[in-house]
Structure 1
Amino acid sequence: MSEVFEGYERQYCELSANLSRKCTAAGALNGEQKKQKVSEIKSGIDEAESLIRKMDLEARSLQPNVKAVLLAKLREYKSDLNNLKSEVKRIVSGNLNAAARDELLESGMADALTASADQRARLMMSTDRLGKSGDRIKEGRRTMLETEELGVSILQDLHSQRQSLLHAHSTLHGVDDNIGKSKKVLTAMSRRMSRNKWIIGTIIAVLVIAVALILYFKLS
């Protein structure tokens, strides 16, 4: 058997055992430590693949009977390496699942917090709208009271004006009565004056006639 192949084989076996221990340790870790351990394992797997390629080249350069034995060993080593790769994928997948779960939990908490914040915002908006509605109702009530007071004041003014108009109407009615009475008095006085004129005229005529008769008899 080739000493070169044996040297590569010895390195691979030590590396494979070390990688197996690291995979077992990585399964019990979390967070950054687990990521660091997985990174070390992947680096070791790359080194193991390099050793397998070197062993394959070395085995194929040997005699057929030796080559067949060494290639059979290589198939076992490749199978072992594939198992290590599968284990690393499982560890990484578990880490991703945990990260995804944490992300989902964080997302759920964020959604819950967002929903809670939205609910608080809507509640505050509703409270603000209710407050504004209450203020508008108070303002409307105050305006209504002011309008009512203004209406009462206007009604009082109208009542006062009505009373003034009624009083003025009564006064005018009294004036009309007085004017009517005065007119009647003036009419009566006018009639008396007319009668007096006729009486005075008659008296004057009688006196003139009497004077004329007296003068006539004296002169004749």
Structure 2
Amino acid sequence: MSEVFEGYERQYCELSENLSRKCTSAGALNGEQKKQKVADIKSGIDEAESLIRKMDLEARSLQPNVKAVLLVKLRGYKSDLNNLKGEVKRIVSGNLNPAARDELLESGMADAITASADQRTRLMMSTERLGKTGDRVKESRRTMLETEELGVSILQDLHSQRQSLLHAHNTLHGVDENVGKSKRILTSMARRMSRNKWIIGSIVAVLVIAIGLILYFKLSN
């Protein structure tokens, strides 16, 4: 549940009760005092309408499940405000004569006050249900945060493992390069050894032939 909405709600409930008391007292006044009281009540009604608009904007910015509950609750506040406006109209129209005013106070205002009391009872019940819904939303939000933290931890572990694999891959790549270089060096050495063998073999062959020729000429003489 939104703390901002609750703040506006408390202000509205206090203002609504204050306006109801002013309406009751204004019905028994006459002349200039009544006009001043009515003007004061109308100013309070304007403030109440402003609070309702703020609550409406705040409710519509919340999650759908909380928004639906708050809007139902807000309709009750709007109905309560309309009752207050009706009381003000009846008070203003009560200037006709004392008998009409007394009848207005006994019937119209009594009905309005009763309706307002019933409305506030329903609003209190709605507030209680909303509080339970808010607790469930908080619990869901807490579970969601825990799940998000677990997901972040898993992602961090995966990132660490990925870095280890990349490091191992780079190490293996370096080993492959060293093995390739060693292979090329060994191949070059094998070629040189083979060439040296042919050279030594050729020299030995030449020496054998030379020795053979020398022995042949010596034995012939």
Normalised TM-score (structure 2): 0.44
Greater Rg by CA: 1
Normalised TM-score (structure 1): 0.44
Structure having greater relative contact order (Cα 8 Å, sep ≥ 6)? 2
